[in-house]
Amino acid sequence: MQRAHRSLRPARLIGIGLLVVLVVAMVLNTKFLNPEELAAAGPVKFDPKATADELFTKAKAELPDKASEVVEVVPAMQADTKAAAEKYKAVSPAEGAYVFPVKTTATVIDATDANLRLKVAGVPEETPVIVPLTTAINGTVVRDAMGFKFADAPGQTDYQYVGDELKKLMQADIKSEIPDPAALKGKKVTVVGAIGVIGAGTSVPKPKPVNIQPVSIKEAS
């Protein structure tokens, strides 16, 4: 029994040696990350502000080509909202809700720090066409116009934050483009943006104001 015990020692030592070699090899082939590298290697955290920046840049570049004339869209959605949505390729973020990319060159008939009121030839006289400039700006309309969906955000809060961040970008951009809104009264402007229609039935009443959520406002030459 003592001889058999002695004969096991070399095999045990060989096994231990192989294990040591394996551990050393694993250590040499392992990259150890510092906390910053570890954070970068993990899943990318959703950033509403960065997402809004990307969507606004995309809207600036793409909406002018996608947009239809307000003079065509407004009477069409007043007659048959669903048919107008199909014809003018509106986005539908929810049932009964539509977002129309639009543009127009029109005369400013009233101007305040809060909004511009436009006279768009061809739109019914009883339909106010308003371009909000401050608190009434709605970033969710532009968010939806650019095809950003609820499923694209981790949850409801982040989804809403994207709209909130877009609102801030739109307000800052408008302030830069139009430092003195009142000076535009009586002048023509070119507006690119989106009209949101929520809870729409078969048509939109003519007296209901149309709000163009602005991506760009320029004084027309």
pLDDT above 90 for 209: yes
- Mean pLDDT, rounded, for 121-136: 97
Question: Whole-angstrom Cα distance, residue 165 to residue 57?
Answer: 13
Pick from 24, 78, 65, 59: nearest CA to 167 = 59
pLDDT tens readout for residues 48-88 = 999 999 999 999 999 999 999 999 999 999 999 999 999 99
* pLDDT at residue 213, as a whole number: 98
Q: Which amino acid is at 49?
A: K
Q: Which residue has the higher pLDDT, 107 or 1?
A: 107
pTM for the model stands at 0.80
Find how far residue 41's CA is from the centre of its chain: 26
pLDDT tens readout for residues 81-107 = 999 999 999 999 988 899 999 999 999
pLDDT tens readout for residues 22-39 = 656 565 666 656 666 645
Q: Residue 51 class from Cβ within 10 Å (0-12 exposed, 13-18 middle, 19+ buried)? A: buried
